[in-house]
């Protein structure tokens, strides 16, 4: 079985340098890092993670806890977190809670027992008071908790404003916003706040319909949308709080004979792949998923190294115009 000395000899570096690469300590050039990884692969060298965790009090592993892996937003975010972590010499442990409280607690306990460097948490309901006593960095994404280490959010209120402004500019007079989950409060609720402010400023009528936890868990909003689009309000502009909901609005419109964008202008939120695959493609609020993922990983690493990190990071969003509003 290959040793650390074998790896160092293979790539012509000192054992200390190879150790710094494995433990992600100090500055290491991309060339040196690539040389070490190539030698490890050729020699089939497997680092002793247990021994490393005992010496460092943590591993080069980041726990990622999400409520969904099928949802396009979370799938995209997970992929970007894994890429960002890998570039920095870290691996991820992925946990899918499906919104179940006891699972969330179990996964936080698992992260503690596995001596992770930190946890990136997306869940909306898990109670973290006991976990925070472990002194493991807890970075929340699109959620803010007072006893967390840091939070990363997009500017949801700005997104709501941009959506309302785009629909009004497109000539819409009666607007509908399909909002977040009624049973929980999240930063995403600020999308409605921004949307409502613009409508009030412009004197444009609007209505909000909230979704349920069951709909979020099943990712099926068709029944809700059937009812909303059969109302007598004759909405001519809709802002959906996710591209997934917007795509299902297109399906319901097709079934009821309403045309997008001729009869109804439509805007989603997230700018995930599904928004580009529908007919017509969906105008949307671009959430900087890649930047949010990289920021969350950087915050975990910085906090695990004892550095001071900002309590809250807010990243801007942008409006992407496609054929659903033109």
**pLDDT at residue 137 above 50?**
yes
Q: What is the pLDDT of residue 176?
A: 96
**pLDDT at residue 129 above 70?**
no
Two tokens at 203? 């004197």
Q: What is the largest CA-CA distance in the chain?
A: 76
Q: Give the residue extent of every domain in the chain.
A: 4-36, 57-154+289-316, 156-288
Q: What is the pLDDT of residue 133?
A: 64
Q: What is the pLDDT of residue 54?
A: 46
Q: How many helices, marked H, and strands, marked E, lie in the chain?
A: 13, 12
**pLDDT at residue 301 above 90?**
yes
Same fold, 57-154+289-316 and 156-288: yes
Q: How confident is the model at residue 125 (pLDDT cuts 50, 70, 90)?
A: low
Q: What is the pLDDT of residue 128?
A: 63
Considering only residues 195 and 256, tell me which one the structure prediction assigns the higher pLDDT.
195
Q: Cβ atoms within 10 A of the Cβ of 179, count?
A: 20
Mean pLDDT in residue range 177-182: 87
Asked: is 156-288 a CATH 3.40.50.300 domain? The reply is no
Q: Which stretch of 21-30, 32-41, 152-161, 168-177 has the lowest confidence by average pLDDT?
A: 21-30
DSSP 271: -
DSSP 193: H
Cis peptide leading into residue 111 (ω within 30°): no
Considering only residues 277 and 21, tell me which one the structure prediction assigns the higher pLDDT.
277
Q: What is the pLDDT of residue 74?
A: 96
Considering only residues 176 and 19, tell me which one the structure prediction assigns the higher pLDDT.
176
**pLDDT at residue 127 above 70?**
no
Reported CATH class of domain 57-154+289-316: alpha beta
Q: Please list the residues that pair with 205 across neighbouring strands.
A: 174
Q: What is the dihedral of CA 256, 260, 262, 266, to 10 degrees?
A: 120
Q: Please list the residues that pair with 91 across neighbouring strands.
A: 61
Q: What is the pLDDT of residue 57?
A: 58
**pLDDT at residue 235 above 80?**
yes
Interval 103-122: pLDDT, tens: 767 777 788 878 899 999 98
Interval 55-103: pLDDT, tens: 455 688 999 999 889 999 999 999 999 999 999 999 999 988 876 666 7
- Residues of the chain with pLDDT > 90: what percent? 62
């Amino acid at each position: 079985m290959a040793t650390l000395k074998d790896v160092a000899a293979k790539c012509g570096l000192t054992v200390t340098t190879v150790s710094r690469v494995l433990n992600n300590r100090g500055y290491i050039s991309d060339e040196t890092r690539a040389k070490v990884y190539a030698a490890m692969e050729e020699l089939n060298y497997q680092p002793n993670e247990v021994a490393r965790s005992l010496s460092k009090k943590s591993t080069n592993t980041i726990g990622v806890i999400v409520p969904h892996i099928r949802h396009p937003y979370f799938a995209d975010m997970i992929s970007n977190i894994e890429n960002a972590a890998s570039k920095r010499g870290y691996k991820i442990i992925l946990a899918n809670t499906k919104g179940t409280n006891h699972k969330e607690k179990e996964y936080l306990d698992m992260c503690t027992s596995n001596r992770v460097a930190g946890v990136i948490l997306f869940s909306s309901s898990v109670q973290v008071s006991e976990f925070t006593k472990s002194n493991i960095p807890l970075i929340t994404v699109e959620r803010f908790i007072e006893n967390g280490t840091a939070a990363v959010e997009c500017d949801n209120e700005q997104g709501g404003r941009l959506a309302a402004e785009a629909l009004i500019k497109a000539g819409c007079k009666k607007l509908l916003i399909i909002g977040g989950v009624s049973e929980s409060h999240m930063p995403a609720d600020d999308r409605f706040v921004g949307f409502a402010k613009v409508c009030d400023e412009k004197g444009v009528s609007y209505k909000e319909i909230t979704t349920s936890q069951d709909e979020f868990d099943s990712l099926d909003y068709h029944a809700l949308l059937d009812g909303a689009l059969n109302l007598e309000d004759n909405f001519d502009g809709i802002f959906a709080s996710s591209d997934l909901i917007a795509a299902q609005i297109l399906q319901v419109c097709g079934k009821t004979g309403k045309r997008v964008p001729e009869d109804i202008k439509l805007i989603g939120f997230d700018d995930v792949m599904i928004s580009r695959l529908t007919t017509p493609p969906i105008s949307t609020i671009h959430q900087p998923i890649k930047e949010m993922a990289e920021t969350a990983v950087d915050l975990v690493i910085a906090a695990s190294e004892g550095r001071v990190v900002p309590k809250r990071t807010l990243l801007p969003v942008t409006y992407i115009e496609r054929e659903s509003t033109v």
